[in-house]
Structure formats: structure tokens, C-alpha cells
């Protein structure tokens, strides 16, 4: 259970541009659809002194549909967000592996079978999202029946980040590239991820203009994070150990790129690569954890 929780930590060329009236914007149209594939890969390495070292690798792919219901005069859309397909692949030390594909004909077995009700909850429900023309995610609302169902599924607890309003909001924010305001060359979005062992990671994710190629506007990322203990994690009955004591971020980098088609008014693709190193104490032993996470979003 410890390693399972750890897996889900935490989805250019040319000079910069200061945008005026020609700042690129999302162009939403009522009664239309947008589809994106969101692929998140996380590699986790832990060195826990006497407890030894281990590594895990997780891949999660979501095929997401935005069914746009309406667009107001400012360009803000209200849409239904639907997860059409889920694929998960997890490999951990000791040969533990879980593979799940919601489109597969085979009946899930083992851990995948235990988590199937959680995946089905995501697939069976429609979530309301409100996004501005800049890409600001103003609202993510889960159906009441979805919230009730998830609260009654203990197996979802280790992956609850994906199954809450904040988790589904993060999916929407991974798709909705936040564009610079007029007179600016970059956009800043708050970054907030809770992990039951590592703690609470907060800070800012910045996308800065990095030139254009025709209608394609290019951006590059930067990140600034801090970490603090998650005090509520100690009360979680599904986590058999306490969270990291006195966690510290000793290294953090963000690389990648994003391309936005200004003529079409949509993101074509983005790639964000995070590399974090944290230290702390776990069960009286010093721990060093390295997290490499890549989130790729592609228009379909």
C-alpha cells in the first residue's frame, strides 16, 4: 500500500513574445466537441537507508472528451467532460504489476479487478467544466451520484487524487493550456498536489512564450514548488505508515513544450517533464525520493 500511494504523486525555438491585442485565445464553439489524450508517466525511486531501496513505474492514459454545451459573450465555455477510455500500467519491485484497459475484452484480474469499480465510476459519469478563453478553469463539478459512489469505494483511496473534484480539475487544467494575458509573455497557474507520504506540494507552474511558427504559438515551462507535511495523512487507515517527517525539496526542474494553434483556437500538444528530489524521515530512517513525471497532452 505504501508503494501504491507513492506512485501517484503527483499531469522550443525562437525568442519570447509580449502579447498585445493579438494574444492567442481558445475559440470554443457551442454544440462542438474537443478530444484529447492525456498520458501521465511517473517513475519513482526511493532510498530508505536500512529499509533498502525500491523503484516503481506507472503509466496512466485518459482519453477525454469535452462536449461543449454553451459559450458566453466573453468566450467562456461550459462543457461536459467525459473520460472515454482509461489505461493504467503499474510495475513495482517484487514483480508486482497491474494492467488495466477499459476497452479490453478480458475480464480484469487481481488488483485491476479490485479497482474496476473506481474506473467504471470515472467512465460512467459526466463532469461539468467551465473554462475561459484564456484557459482558466473556473469550475469543475462532479455529479452528486458520482461523489456518493466514490465515497463508498475503499479501493479508491490510494488513487483518490484522480477521483475528486481537485483531481478531475487537474485533468481539465492539463488540457486547458493557460495563455498569457494581454501585455504579458507568460501565464502562471497554481500547482497543488497532496500525497499521503511525500506531503503537500504547492507552488506555481509557468508557461512562457517561446516564439511562433505560422499560427503555432510555442511555450516553455518553469516550476517553483515547496513541500510541507500532510498532517491529515497520518489519520488515513489505508496508509500503514506515517508520512515523511520534515520533507524538503532539494531539487526541482521542469522542461518540455506546448504548441497552441491560434487560428483554430486550441492546444495541439504539450509535454511537461518534472524532476523532483525530496528528503525526509520515514519510520526513523532517512529517505531520499526522486520523482520523474511526464504529462503529454495531444489533440485527437
Q: Does residue 124 register a pLDDT over 80?
A: no
What is the mean predicted confidence (pLDDT) over 1-15? 38
- What pLDDT does 251 receive? 96
Residue 130, sorted as left (phi over 0), alpha (psi -120 to 50) or beta, turns out to be beta
More confident residue, 110 or 209: 209
Q: Does residue 129 register a pLDDT over 80?
A: yes
Nearest to 151 by CA among 235, 108, 143: 143
- What pLDDT does 15 receive? 42
Tens of pLDDT, residue by residue over 16-25, are 566 656 789 9
How far apart are the C-alpha atoms of 214 and 217, rounded to whole Å?
Answer: 8
Task: Specify the DSSP element, H or E, that contains 228.
Answer: strand 216-228
How far apart are the C-alpha atoms of 126 and 81, rounded to whole Å?
Answer: 6
- What pLDDT does 156 receive? 45
C-alpha angle with apex 158: 154 to 162, nearest 5 degrees? Answer: 100
What is the mean predicted confidence (pLDDT) over 250-278? 97
> What predicted TM-score, i.e. pTM, was given to this entire model?
0.87
Residue 290 C-alpha cell reads as 526522486
- What pLDDT does 18 receive? 60
Contact assessment for residue 14 and residue 55, using Cβ atoms and an 8 Å cutoff:
no
Where does the chain have alpha helices with state H? 2-7, 111-124, 144-151, 165-175
Q: Does residue 202 register a pLDDT over 70?
A: yes
Reported as a pLDDT band with limits 50, 70 and 90, residue 271 is very high
Nearest to 79 by CA among 172, 162, 171, 11: 172
- What pLDDT does 189 receive? 95
Tens of pLDDT, residue by residue over 86-116, are 999 988 766 778 899 999 998 888 778 877 8
The helix/strand/coil state of 300 is coil
- Please tell me the least confidently modeled range out of 81-90, 134-143, 186-195, 282-291: 282-291
- What pLDDT does 146 receive? 76
Contact assessment for residue 271 and residue 240, using Cβ atoms and an 8 Å cutoff:
no
- What pLDDT does 1 receive? 35
Nearest to 208 by CA among 225, 191, 190, 189: 189
Tens of pLDDT, residue by residue over 10-69, are 333 334 566 656 789 999 999 999 999 999 999 988 887 766 777 888 899 999 999 999
Indicate the average pLDDT of the chain: 84
Amino acid at each position: 500500500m505504501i508503494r501504491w500511494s507513492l506512485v501517484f504523486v503527483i499531469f522550443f525555438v525562437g525568442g519570447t513574445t509580449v502579447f498585445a491585442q493579438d494574444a492567442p485565445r481558445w475559440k470554443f464553439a457551442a454544440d462542438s466537441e474537443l478530444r484529447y489524450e492525456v498520458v501521465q508517466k511517473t517513475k519513482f525511486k526511493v532510498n530508505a537507508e536500512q529499509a533498502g531501496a525500491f523503484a516503481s513505474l506507472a503509466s496512466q492514459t485518459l482519453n477525454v472528451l469535452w462536449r461543449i454545451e454553451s459559450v458566453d459573450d466573453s468566450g467562456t465555455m461550459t462543457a461536459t467532460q467525459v473520460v472515454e477510455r482509461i489505461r493504467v500500467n503499474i510495475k513495482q519491485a517484487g514483480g508486482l504489476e497491474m494492467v488495466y484497459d477499459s476497452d479490453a475484452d478480458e475480464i480484469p484480474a487481481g488488483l485491476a479487478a479490485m479497482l474496476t469499480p473506481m474506473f467504471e465510476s470515472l467512465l460512467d459519469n459526466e463532469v461539468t467544466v467551465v473554462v475561459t478563453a484564456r484557459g482558466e478553469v473556473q469550475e469543475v463539478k462532479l455529479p452528486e451520484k458520482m461523489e456518493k459512489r466514490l465515497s463508498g469505494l475503499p479501493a479508491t483511496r490510494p488513487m483518490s487524487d484522480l477521483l475528486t473534484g481537485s483531481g478531475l480539475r487537474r485533468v481539465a487544467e492539463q488540457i486547458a493550456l493557460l495563455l498569457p494575458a494581454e501585455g504579458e509573455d507568460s501565464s502562471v497557474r497554481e500547482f497543488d498536489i497532496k500525497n499521503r507520504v511525500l506531503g503537500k506540494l504547492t507552488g506555481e507552474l509557468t508557461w512562457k512564450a517561446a516564439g511562433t511558427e505560422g499560427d503555432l504559438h510555442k511555450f516553455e515551462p518553469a516550476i517553483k514548488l515547496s513541500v510541507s507535511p500532510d498532517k491529515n495523512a497520518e489519520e488515513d487507515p489505508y496508509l500503514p505508515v506515517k508520512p515523511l517527517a520534515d520533507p524538503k525539496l532539494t531539487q526541482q526542474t521542469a522542461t518540455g513544450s506546448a504548441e497552441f494553434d491560434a487560428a483554430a483556437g486550441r492546444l495541439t500538444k504539450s509535454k511537461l517533464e518534472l524532476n523532483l528530489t525530496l528528503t525526509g524521515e520515514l519510520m526513523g530512517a532517512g529517505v531520499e525520493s526522486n520523482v520523474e513525471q511526464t504529462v503529454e497532452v495531444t489533440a485527437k
